[in-house]
Amino acid sequence: MTVRPRRRDVLAALGAAAALTPGGLLPGRLLSGGLLPGTERAAPAGGNTPLFRISLAQWSLHRTLRSGALDPLDFAAVAKNTYGVDGIEYVNSFFKDKATDFTWLGQLKDQAESVGVTSLLIMIDGEGQLAVADDAARARAVENHFRWIAAASFLGCHAIRVNAAGDGSWDDQRERAAASLHHLAEYGAPYGISVIVENHGGLSSNGKWLAEVMAAADHPGVGTLPDFGNFHLGDGEWYDRYRGVEELMPFAKAVSAKSHAFDVEGDETNTDYRRMLKLVLAAGYHGYIGIEYEGSELSERDGILATRRLLERVRAELAG
């Protein structure tokens, strides 16, 4: 059964988060008409328009970034010049202290624009659990995401990716996650920012549960970011990745092409990309699909390039 959050429950549970900064909103790209037109699901216009476009998730370079060999400000140029992509997905852990530093964010934005790269979204981690039972902790978690909504808007992104972690029963976590997401989407609407959830461990890696959360949140600014590989439920149990992606695609505003290893033919050894991309396209999704290489057999550079080649090859096959 799908349970929609009641407005009074949202306000009661998240009352502390309603006390925003002076004026009610942080700096950013404020809109008078609500959400920006969604280009993330735009259908092909015909001719030479590809079935989908390819972006690069910053997490693919997490070892290089953490070692200091790559400055986060140079990510856009590397994405374009080394990997040949024109869309990027940021991860907040690489600039955690910069959420309200609009001078630094301005440099990040300028770097992307100077090389013709589109900033798509920011993946948010470490800001609290949106489905935790403790009301005060949940309110803090919601409020912690406000600054990232403003930062994403400032950069020209269309969304932030959040996590739907919590505690308690299936139903309780669903209701709390839905209420938090609804509240965040209400806050994000004037900025043109959607709030999207990735299957990222715990109940969120259960496609059925996360699909129920989407229905319960009941907001056009709430959606999913289906990841091809993040379906580990814990204790060695896995949710079927193809079933999960199929369940999450009706709500998708972004897609993550997770990769770890490749065989001699260049196919990913954990995920059948042909089968997976057919599911993505069947849902009417023709936006960006983000490369997210997490393997160790290949270097980050070679793994990213192998994932791009695979996406391009399957895309050409499906188009033909």
> Residues 6 or more apart from 37 whose CB is under 8 A from it?
none
* Residue 197, both tokens: 């959830």
Q: How many CA atoms lie within 13 A of 304 on its CB side?
A: 23
For the chain, the structural domain boundaries read: 52-319
Distance between CA 302 and CA 149 in Å, rounded?
Answer: 33
Residue 255 DSSP symbol? E
Burial 243-262 (b: 16+ CB within 10 A, else e): ebbbbbbebbbbbbbbbbbb
Q: Once rounded to an integer, what is the mean pLDDT over residues 67-86? A: 98
> How far, in Å, CA of 145 to CA of 253, rounded?
18
pLDDT bucket at 102, cuts 50 / 70 / 90 = very high
pLDDT for 30: 63
Average pLDDT score over residue span 234-261? 97
217 contacts 173 by C-beta, under 8 angstroms? no
Q: Is 70 exceeded by the pLDDT of residue 44?
A: no
Question: What share of the chain has pLDDT > 70, as a percent?
Answer: 86
Q: Which of 24-38, 92-106, 145-159 has the lowest mean pLDDT?
A: 24-38
What number is the average pLDDT over the span 10-39? 47
pLDDT at 42: 55
The 10s digit of each residue's pLDDT in 122-147 is 999 999 999 999 999 999 999 999 99
pTM recorded for the entire structure:
0.89
Q: Which pLDDT value is given to residue 320?
A: 86
pLDDT at 98: 98
Percent of the chain at pLDDT above 90?
83
The radius of gyration of the chain from alpha carbons, rounded to an integer in Å, stands at 19
> Is 298 or 16 the better-scoring residue by pLDDT?
298
Q: 52-319 domain in CATH 3.40.50.2300?
A: no
126 contact partners, CB below 8 Å, separation of at least 6: 92, 93, 96
Q: Which pLDDT does position 116 carry in this prediction?
A: 98
Asked if pLDDT for residue 14 goes beyond 50, the answer is no
What amino acid occupies position 203?
A: L
Q: Where are the beta strands (DSSP E) in the chain?
A: 53-57, 87-91, 118-123, 159-162, 194-198, 222-225, 232-234, 237-238, 255-259, 288-293
Residue 33 pLDDT > 70: no
Task: Indicate the average pLDDT of the chain.
Answer: 90
Contact 254, 40 (CB under 8 A): yes
Q: Is the pLDDT of residue 300 over 60?
A: yes
Q: How confident is the model at residue 185 (pLDDT cuts 50, 70, 90)?
A: very high
Q: Is pLDDT larger for residue 50 or for residue 45?
A: 50
CA 142/CA 181 separation, integer angstroms: 8
- pLDDT band with cut points at 50, 70 and 90 for residue 40: low
